[in-house]
Amino acid sequence: MTRILLTWISTVLILILLVLWAHQAELKLGFPTIVTGWFLFGILVALALFNIRKKLSNLPLANASSWLALHLPGGVLAVGVFWLHTGSHWPLGTYEKFLAFLFYATVVTGVLGLVIQKLFPRRLTKSGAEYVFERIPMELVEIQKKAKDILLACARETKRDTLSTQFFEHLDWYFHRPRFFLNNIFGGQKGEIWVRQQCSTMEVALNPQERTYLQKIFALANNKRSIDIHFALQTVLKTWIMLHLPLAVALLTLVLWHLLVVYTYFL
């Protein structure tokens, strides 16, 4: 906790000192944008190195938690230096607007990724089950098989196919693949409510003996819901970087081009 507090205090102090220095440089008719530009470039490179650090986990480059603790303050510092460098929240030129768009998009996806990495693993743990993402399709096939076994057992014992008919009319859709993707991402209960409603509708047409088997189907549906939650959350955990990383690479590429243009034509 102390380390995090010191990191944030250092970030604020650096930004304040840089603002004061830029103000003094302007009063002396200097060019503070050169220094703030290089400073911003250095921050962006340092932030980009975090992804390289994750891929080189075996090297003694400090632990990933330390890098992550510096990543958010570094991002905040980058935003402050960006505003100081441009002199506004949104520049006027078309080229500058595109550069600003890439910068803000990278920041937003980075913050989103940080929130996801903090919250989603806890939600996965609270789900009460563990599923390997690559095995989820096989888990779904296994649940479908168990559901069909229950339906066959019910038909053999009761000599009725009412439960099977009701199942294929109301619940079969739910068991074929992960459902309620967005609702599960935001922690909603739509899947659970839907299953309860379908089972309540089915129960009306069943006799007491068949309702015993319906309870087994309902338990399978609850297991399926846990799989759906894991599929949704793990998909986001695995794919958000595919949005953030290309934006970061494009931003650094355009910043390098910006530096080249400035030093070629204006300095």
Are 43 and 77 within 8 A, CB to CB? Answer: yes
Q: What is the largest CA-CA distance in the chain?
A: 95
Distance CA(72)–CA(123), nearest Å, equals 22
Q: Please classify residue 91 by burial: count the beta carbons closer than 10 Å to its beta carbon, then call 0-12 exposed, 13-18 middle and 19+ buried.
A: middle
Distance CA(116)–CA(264), nearest Å, equals 42
Measure the CA dihedral 77/81/82/83, to 10°.
Answer: 110
Distance CA(176)–CA(25), nearest Å, equals 66
The reported pTM is 0.78
Are 229 and 121 within 8 A, CB to CB? Answer: no
pLDDT of residue 127: 80
Distance CA(69)–CA(183), nearest Å, equals 30
Residues of the chain with pLDDT > 90, as a percent, come to: 45
pLDDT of residue 59: 47
Sort residue 199 into left (φ over 0), alpha (ψ -120 to 50) or beta. alpha
Are 244 and 106 within 8 A, CB to CB? Answer: yes
H or E stretch at 177 = none
pLDDT of residue 52: 64
Residues 21-33: tens digit of each pLDDT: 877 877 666 678 8
**Which parts of the chain register pLDDT below 50?**
59-61
